């Protein structure tokens, strides 16, 4: 069991639809991280930007970008997190990868495709959540537009008759290409997800303009279980390592056991 978990956020501009350039840029940034860290989080569609051209850009699960993630995770002994465009069974997915330093990985397909940008016309929605585990921490992994739908990320209280009730996860991670014009919603909703789930929340967003002149202000954040902002960076490229504390998390949940009064529900398709 790990009391402390170190998370490094990489808020960066992206090269539009240039996978090699993005991999090279991100590799330099990751290898340059001086602090010891457990998890490194990249923005949504980190290898291409938020493109609606999956037929030209999608990779298979044995493609170059997955291989690159495996190499970087092993080299730095980190868990590497970010989403990219994947083709599988003739369908396209905005798929988040949780890459372990051993080369093993889990993945999550974005549940809520962003219809305003016609993402739902190009990509297939996911149907299952991914709650990963590291050192006794349970991590719920989500992508951008998922943030607007609290039921999808709501704590489900574990009700094993042989164990005490417990929250389903301790940390929520959102990777995003969230535009500046709606940055107020991004910031408020990240805090709301932390408060209602009594967990840490990490949101990593890109900066810069994409090819459509959509501006991204970053506003990457880390928020504690009380909704207090631990880290916030706007506008500029920035790399930050933040340490979160399991004892603090447990203390909040013990002092304010609101999660015990939560509604019981089941998400279905």
**Residues that are catalytic:** 44, 110, 144
Nearest partner of 134 among 75, 192, 77, 191, judged by Cα: 77
**CA–CA separation, 235 and 127 (whole Å):** 33
Please state, in angstroms and rounded to a whole number, the distance separating the CA atoms of residues 262 and 227: 18
Closest C-alpha to 9, from 36, 34, 40: 40
User: Measured over all CA atoms, what is the biggest interatomic distance in the chain, rounded to whole angstroms?
Assistant: 55
- Report the alpha-carbon distance of residue 152 to residue 137 in Å, rounded: 19
Q: How many CB atoms lie within 10 A of CB 18?
A: 15
In angstroms, the first-to-last Cα distance of the chain is 35
């Amino acid at each position: 069991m790990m009391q402390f978990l170190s998370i490094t956020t990489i808020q960066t501009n992206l090269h539009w639809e240039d996978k090699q350039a993005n991999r090279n840029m991100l590799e330099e940034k990751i290898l340059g991280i001086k602090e010891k860290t457990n998890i490194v989080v990249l923005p949504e569609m980190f290898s291409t930007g938020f493109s609606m051209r999956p037929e030209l850009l999608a990779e298979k699960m044995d493609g170059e970008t997955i291989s690159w993630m495996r190499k970087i995770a092993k080299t730095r002994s980190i868990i590497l997190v970010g989403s990219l465009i994947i083709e599988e069974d003739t369908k396209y997915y905005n798929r988040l990868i949780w890459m372990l330093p051993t080369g093993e990985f889990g993945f999550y397909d974005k549940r809520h495709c962003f219809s305003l940008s016609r993402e739902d016309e190009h990509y297939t929605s996911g149907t299952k959540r991914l709650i990963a585990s590291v050192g006794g921490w349970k991590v719920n992994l989500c992508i951008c537009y998922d943030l607007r739908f609290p039921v999808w990320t709501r704590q489900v209280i574990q009700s094993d008759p042989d164990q005490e009730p417990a929250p389903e996860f301790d940390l929520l991670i959102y990777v995003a290409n969230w535009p500046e014009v709606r940055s107020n919603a991004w910031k408020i909703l990240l805090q709301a997800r932390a408060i209602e789930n009594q967990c840490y929340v990490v949101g990593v967003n890109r900066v810069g303009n994409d090819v459509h002149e959509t501006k991204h202000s970053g506003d990457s954040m880390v928020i504690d279980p009380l909704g207090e902002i631990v880290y916030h960076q706007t506008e500029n490229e920035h790399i930050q390592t933040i340490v979160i504390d399991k004892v603090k998390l447990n203390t909040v949940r013990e002092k304010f056991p609101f999660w015990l009064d939560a509604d019981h529900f089941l998400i279905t398709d």
